[in-house]
């Protein structure tokens, strides 16, 4: 929650302007496809990242307008951040578990 409070506007700006300069119709298309994917995944009980789904939808909408309209460097940086986040979260969880065992909570 604190992360969203601190960085929420930056994320909104990146999603709406830095990946692809969206207009209202593009936002509607991206949100509609995102809703469909999330609903389908929920019906099957599949765990998905809503952030990755909306980002993919925005990339798809931007590509459908014009492939060069998408700032692929920004998209690449986001994918790299996602790839780094997974092992970093695992390391943080392992460290927390180690500390909990050290102080006798587990």
List alpha helices for the chain, DSSP H.
2-13, 24-44, 50-65, 72-102
pLDDT of 68-90, one tens digit each? 888 899 889 888 988 898 899 99
What SS3 state is found at 18? helix
pLDDT of 12-52, one tens digit each? 777 777 888 888 899 899 999 999 999 999 999 998 888 88
């Amino acid at each position: 929650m604190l992360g969203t409070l601190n960085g929420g506007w930056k994320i909104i700006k990146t999603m709406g302007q830095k990946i692809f300069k969206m207009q209202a119709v593009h936002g509607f298309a991206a949100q509609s496809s995102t809703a469909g994917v999330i609903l389908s995944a929920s019906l099957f009980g599949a765990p998905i990242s809503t952030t990755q789904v909306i980002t993919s939808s925005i990339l798809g909408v931007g590509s459908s307008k014009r492939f060069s309209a998408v700032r692929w460097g920004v998209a690449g940086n986001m994918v790299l951040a996602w790839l780094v986040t997974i092992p970093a979260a695992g390391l943080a969880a392992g460290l927390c578990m180690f500390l909990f065992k050290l102080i006798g909570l587990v």
